[in-house]
A and B are shown apart, each in its own frame.
Chain A
């Protein structure tokens, strides 16, 4: 029996690439139960769908940011790339543009800019935190110039907007207040695909190795530079895709769109068990991190406590991030 349990444990561990999601999952469940009990109007499909929608945006970006953190790098420019993707998608879908071209550009240009972050890191050997702190402003600045700072919005109701972030009527028919979006389907697809890529492919194996011990990775024949550039490219493409789903739902984009999302994404990855020093983390954990942050925000807003006004919910979220990280560390030492 003991042996069977240990075999099962090792099978789970393999599924998750040797990274535990026990800590993040426990935190999410506890927070959700606490909110359900103490927060009025929390336990309804209406607020749950709201939580999921907000978590989707954070989590799509956080998949890329999480991969980068596992490989030992940061990307602070992804928030700006959300806006870049949003503008390219908006300009090319509106007024009868080609939807295919729009999506290709909205993913391709942020992907190229992401890869550029990686190349600058390799050429200059400046830490990625600093490189992307710079490109974060450069990319948004360039967008400001090219877009002339204009807010872009549309009243058109194109099929493509429905595909990327329309109403998910299958789920919404369950309850009148529910507002699940098709972006949820995209998120689930991305999580499954990238979990597979991270835990079941050569590239994924090298992402862990490059973040865990770059010297050993190089000595064993993993291409450290190629792995890093490819990971930055993926992070850029996912940021661009976030711009696509944002515009598909709200049908407006401005230069400041996505500002601060890079920090939410890092928080989601960390809460989900990614190590700041690299070499450990998971895609499922990152998704749980995104959900946890979103749950807390909604919970605090609905709670409307006198000493924690709704516009100060960031403090509660911040405290939870620190707490969750401590819990993850504690669980990690024990497994």
Chain B
């Protein structure tokens, strides 16, 4: 945030508390993502990363706290509302339907249709062309947009989900453990697409517990542990070992 009161944050979550019954999953966490910034949200399993993101994407309401999107106080009540704001999430398992074509996945829920009276039909040719062009734009070459997703590798699937988010005008892209099931080469590709997204003006939240994967792309690290914020660190401020120690709590901030 700049000093002159001009809002540069895409999203600012203030003092977020989330309780499930007697369990406090998040205890007053502050989290900010600035314009065109890749923020790595890191923490061990169960640290509260997913809970924080699910609050941001409208899956859970926060128990306490406020969310500002582009400077405006917002209440995000459903994933649909999050999407309407420009928050697109690429989930690890819930991204694509494997038995459907790339195009049909790309436009799922947002199909292009032609209408005559009460009838409508899918503009498949146009959707195929847009899918191919849009993926090419961010450096993904598909053999055929009518190919079933099950034929693609894990990295290709992630990249298609990322391409889809970009195509539909995301302002903030959330990648949930995008590299956890990928080979080294594929991880590299996904990291490249992440940088491409940033180059196109997007902000990215990169959720992971593997710090090696984000070391190359993250501008900033937000580390959480046991539902509380450990700290925010700029790129270059910490070494791999420092981050690992902060995640596990071997070292206090």
By a beta-carbon cutoff of 8 Å, the part of chain A in contact with chain B is 6, 10, 13-14, 18, 196, 200-202, 205-206, 208-209, 212-213, 215-222, 275, 279-280
Contacts and interface: CB of A to CB of B under 8 A. Distances in A.
A18 B100 CA distance: 7
Contacts of A205: 100, 104, 107-108, 111, 122
Contacts of A209: 97, 100, 104, 108
Interface in B66-115: 79-80, 83, 89, 91, 93-101, 104-105, 107-111, 113
B93 A221 contact: no
A13 to B, nearest CB: 6
Contacts of A215: 91, 93-94
B121 A221 contact: no
B120 interface: yes
Given A13-B101, A201-B121, 17 more contacts: A10-B147, A14-B146, A196-B121, A202-B111, A202-B120, A205-B107, A205-B108, A206-B108, A208-B97, A208-B104, A216-B108, A217-B109, A218-B94, A219-B95, A220-B108, A220-B109, A221-B108
Contacts of B97: 208-209, 212-213, 216-217, 279
A14 B120 contact: no
A200 B124 contact: yes
Interface string B146-176: 1110000000000000000000000000000
B146 A18 contact: yes
Interface residues of B, number: 30
B110 to A, nearest CB: 7
B144 A217 contact: no
Contact of B94 (A10, A216, A280): A216
Nearest first, the 3 A-B pairs at minimum CB distance are: A221-B109, A212-B97, A220-B109
A220 B104 CA distance: 11
A200 B122 contact: yes
Interface class of chain A by DSSP: helix
A221 B146 contact: no
Contacts of B98: 212-213, 279
A206 to B, nearest CB: 8
A217 B100 CA distance: 11
B124 to A, nearest CB: 6
Contacts of A18: 99-101, 104, 146, 148
B57 to A, nearest CB: 9
A208 B100 contact: yes
A222 B104 contact: no
Contacts of B91: 215-216, 219
Contacts of B104: 18, 205, 208-209
A213 B120 contact: no
A182 B122 CA distance: 31
25 contacts: A10-B146, A14-B146, A18-B99, A18-B146, A196-B121, A202-B113, A202-B120, A205-B100, A205-B104, A205-B107, A205-B122, A208-B97, A208-B100, A212-B100, A213-B96, A215-B93, A216-B94, A216-B96, A216-B105, A219-B89, A220-B108, A220-B110, A221-B83, A221-B108, A275-B99
Nearest to B90: A219
A219 B146 contact: no
A5 to B, nearest CB: 12
A219 B59 CA distance: 10
